[in-house]
Structure 1
């Protein structure tokens, strides 16, 4: 069978070859009706554009960069999957960058994405090296941030974030209402905006409830490594403080490690110590006891952030009120705090 050409697609769709090129390369605004005809012709003919030729012509690849700390974290794995699915529907490919919260890697990946002429960049967390934001702005690369909001004097970077402060306040409320008096906060290093907001929200809400935040019951790791192991190690501090009757872990994975350590210390959960996490990872309802947690609408965040970036790539104007979207989390009560109220 003869290989289909752009001319064949144009003939079937009833448009010119430049119009086909604009639809496939997203280089000019084309009506939805015309774009649909072109894509249908591409599908029926099995037309495959030459990626190298397209890159040379447009000076852009069909790739979108995504920066995350570590895909081994279930939270970020879900985001990657959602972003990739959304991009695939638009004929775009994902360039995944695992940074491990290291500023040097963030800078290296950002420079690489710029050099590769990617169509756009999604930044999945608050970067340690904030100079990277200036780099993407200076190079006029469409960029969206997830779970963080960046204030820049150069140009606004659109964002979709989750109200982490509200989520932490809900955790404090729940532990207070089940009768906890000596609440503990444990976390990985507070490198990014989301974790800092959880810390601030939890602390401030306890103060409002008349349960002063005890800094001696706040255990923060100082470096990054496996989250479950980190929670297990931080759990040792909890066991040494017999007054603690409740734990708020800044992520579910930390909570898994803490629960394991508490069980080894013959601590009953929730009778002796209640535990609440943050994220609502898939494992949270499979461990024993099932983990009470703050569920984040991470799929919606990833979908809306990707759609926002695609509009920017297509040079569509966005209303000012749609540049920064904040989504609300919600409390999921399970066995690790249940039955104590």
Structure 2
């Protein structure tokens, strides 16, 4: 029988729907005989509770929505795993949605999550517009920002981010100290905090060393693999070729290395690659491979989960701002100076 209801169980059991409801919800009194009868009939009819109806009645869904820019990026998957490992201990489950670096899609998915009555939202935003997020927070649904934060927001939101400026500064500084003066820079979106802050870190380093930025060697992308591929292709069309590539996320780095390989260039023999974030393709390269900033996505996810549970327990508490500082992943054999 399809769409079995408590009314069907009541009719076959010979009891009232109220009694069936008490038994199935384990609330109120019913004799052992009645309980056995109701559970037996429910099993026979293959009854499945209506989760939506129950959540409407209980005003609780035990679901958390998480919107990340790229669901295929291992960095965001590790963050999500950290969140899940914390919240599942309190019987919450995650609903994953990919924003695809699109503010329009992000707005639509936020609406869908709210329509499904999620109790909290974790968001790595692709938008500069904080109006919708502010309205959600003010409506009583906690929002925790991960990886990216909003500028000039109307309400103070919880967030867990990285010190992007410092990490990008250290990565750029390392390349400069190895003698690189022609560095091809692959930016992520400058419309989000991570993209702009990493670019600021790069600018800080070259200014400190009295270097001028070469606009021909700067590519503004959107954190996707194709950006890395296109950037490298354009850099090597210029009169001044880069001696190092500086990529500001792991996915763009992957694309950059693929394109270098297609062009017959090897890393690090022919060109040095520095990446904000580790990428799996580095395992296929001979030492010293790719210079990278080592991030802590799982630990960041764990902290987000803890903050979210604290917020759900006390919506009036002050906002928590957690900043992780990525470390430069340099080994002794990572040194390859420009000659």
Which category describes the TM-score, using the shorter chain as reference length?
Answer: 0.7 to 0.9
TM-score when scaled to structure 2?
Answer: 0.78
Pick closer, same or farther for the CA change 1:141–1:104 going to 2, 3 Å.
Answer: same
Matches within 5 A, 1:149-228: 149-151=149-151, 154-221=154-221, 227-228=224-225
CA contact (8 A) 1:271 1:340 kept: no
Larger Rg computed on CA atoms: 2
> What is the SS of the residue equivalent to 2:233?
helix
Q: CA deviation at 1:317?
A: 5.9
Q: Distance in 2 between matches of 1:287 and 1:336?
A: 16
Instruction: Provide structure 1 residue ranges, at least 5 long, that are not aligned to the other structure.
Output: 9-48
Q: CA deviation at 1:128?
A: 4.5
Match of 1:332 among 306, 329, 334: 329
Map of 1:309 onto structure 2: 308
Pick closer, same or farther for the CA change 1:261–1:101 going to 2, 3 Å.
Answer: closer
Q: Deviations over 1:80-121 (max 9, x none)?
A: 222222221210011111111222221111122222221111
> What is the SS of the residue equivalent to 1:86?
helix
Pick closer, same or farther for the CA change 1:165–1:118 going to 2, 3 Å.
Answer: same
Map of 2:93 onto structure 1: 93
Q: CA deviation at 1:72?
A: 1.0
Is the counterpart of residue 274 in structure 1 residue 272 in structure 2? yes
Pick closer, same or farther for the CA change 1:260–1:285 going to 2, 3 Å.
Answer: closer
Q: Distance in 1 between matches of 2:259 and 2:303?
A: 38
Is the counterpart of residue 246 in structure 1 residue 244 in structure 2? yes
Q: Distance in 1 between matches of 2:147 and 2:56?
A: 34
> What is the SS of the residue equivalent to 2:234?
helix
Q: Distance in 1 between matches of 2:225 and 2:56?
A: 46
TM-score when scaled to structure 1?
Answer: 0.77
Q: CA deviation at 1:288?
A: 1.2
Q: Distance in 1 between matches of 2:276 and 2:122?
A: 23
Matches within 5 A, 1:1-341: 5=26, 51=51, 54-151=54-151, 154-221=154-221, 227-241=224-238, 242-281=240-279, 283-289=280-286, 290-315=289-314, 318=317, 320=318, 323-333=320-330, 338-340=335-337
CA contact (8 A) 1:64 1:122 kept: yes
> What is the SS of the residue equivalent to 2:284?
coil
CA contact (8 A) 1:162 1:297 kept: no
Instruction: Provide structure 2 residue ranges, at least 5 long, that are not aligned to the other structure.
Output: 1-22, 30-48
> What is the SS of the residue equivalent to 1:277?
strand
Pick closer, same or farther for the CA change 1:84–1:236 going to 2, 3 Å.
Answer: same
CA contact (8 A) 2:245 2:273 kept: yes
Q: CA deviation at 1:122?
A: 0.6
Pick closer, same or farther for the CA change 1:247–1:335 going to 2, 3 Å.
Answer: farther
Q: Distance in 2 between matches of 1:151 and 1:218?
A: 24
> What is the SS of the residue equivalent to 1:286?
helix
CA contact (8 A) 1:270 1:338 kept: no
Length, aligned pairs only:
295
